[in-house]
Amino acid sequence: MEPERPESGFALRSVARAGSLAGLVTTTPVVVRPTEAGASIVSLERAVLLAPVHVADGVSMAGCAFTGAVGLDELRFSRNPFAARGVRLHLGDAAPSELRQLRRAAESSSMFQLAAALHIAQLDATRVMLRATSARRWALEAFRWIGGYGHRPSRPVIVWSAMCLVVTYMIHTWPDRFVGGDFMLDYIRVDIEQWHAVLFKVVVRNSLAVFSPLGPTGMHTDGVALLLAMKVCSTALFVFFAMGVRSRLRR
């Protein structure tokens, strides 16, 4: 999608190689266009954007500095301006607040893949700024590795599958601690020696039915606690998976 062509009320700004728009103040829509191949914006420091600024195709913003800029969500893109030399995203040292504004700008430009990449960069920058012992940092670390920051649906599926196998292994290997022998599921005997029966009839079934009561009867307290903990973890993983699918569908 090409940016809107300058019409009445649009101002033109041209940039060449390593062009700077530091201190730019806009009160009317602006179109930034290249004057030569390889044109780029290296600085928007202290810029105040009060009206849309359309960055034309051919203008790179890879490594652009945004320190002190206000209103970056007024930027509009036709293509990803932050890609450089095969790197998907090259942002330099942007702060989380600046990355949040750039993400909104990408969403306003209907560039949802770029918006997802900027959201990941924003959360990464926030995580790095927090203290190593901060509870919020640990939460972001878990969200990163388990949920892919809500943009990678495959990760929750892998973690859920591994969790199901681990719980099945525990019940099958130490039945006296969790079950105490065979147990009943909807009045049907479940053979504890058959690991696939435990996996599909007990573990997978209970993890998928997150809002229903526990199905098996005759389990010990440790077994009930194990399945309840798995239900809670499965609910979080399903939410991460739904967020990832939504992100993929928007791209």
Q: What is residue 203's predicted lDDT score, i.e. its pLDDT?
A: 84
Kindly state the percentage of the chain with pLDDT values over 90: 51
Is 1.10.287 the CATH number for 154-250? Answer: yes
Rounded CA separation 148/163 (Å): 17
Helix, strand, coil percentages in the chain from 3-state DSSP, rounded to 5: 45, 15, 35
> Which residues are CB-contacts of 72 (< 8 A; sequence separation ≥ 6)?
44, 47, 49, 66, 98, 101, 102, 105
Rounded CA separation 179/202 (Å): 12
Confidence of residue 106 (pLDDT cuts 50, 70, 90): very high
**Residue 147 predicted with pLDDT over 60:** yes
Mean pLDDT of 136-163: 93
Q: What is residue 2's predicted lDDT score, i.e. its pLDDT?
A: 45
Rounded CA separation 35/206 (Å): 63
Q: What is residue 9's predicted lDDT score, i.e. its pLDDT?
A: 58
Q: What is residue 213's predicted lDDT score, i.e. its pLDDT?
A: 67
**Residue 3 predicted with pLDDT over 60:** no
Confidence of residue 6 (pLDDT cuts 50, 70, 90): very low
Pairing of strands 53-55, 11-15: unpaired
72-87 residue pLDDT tens: 999 999 888 998 655 4
Domain edges within the chain: 11-129, 154-250
Give the mean pLDDT of the chain: 85
Pairing of strands 53-55, 75-77: parallel
Q: Cα–chain-centroid distance for residue 84?
A: 22
31-49 residue pLDDT tens: 999 998 889 999 999 999 9
DSSP track, 13-30: EEE-TTEE-TT-EESS-E
User: 17 forms bridges with which residues in the sheet?
Assistant: none
Helix (H, G, I), strand (E, B) or coil at 54: strand
Rounded CA separation 115/210 (Å): 32
Distances (CA, A) of 199 to 49, 146, 162, 180: 57, 22, 12, 17
Distances (CA, A) of 59 to 45, 82, 110: 17, 10, 18
Q: What is residue 7's predicted lDDT score, i.e. its pLDDT?
A: 47
Comparing 121-130, 140-149, 163-172, 191-200, the range with the smallest average pLDDT is 191-200
Higher pLDDT, 79 or 195: 79
158-172 residue pLDDT tens: 999 999 999 988 888
pTM for this predicted structure: 0.80
Q: Rounded to the nearest 5 degrees, what angle is found at the Cα of 47, between the Cα atoms of 46 and 51?
A: 155
Enter the tokens of residue 157: 């599926």
Higher pLDDT, 194 or 20: 20
Given a contact cutoff of 8 angstroms between Cβ atoms, the answer to whether 39 and 62 are in contact is no
61: region left, alpha or beta (phi > 0 left; psi from -120 to 50 alpha): alpha
Q: What is residue 186's predicted lDDT score, i.e. its pLDDT?
A: 55
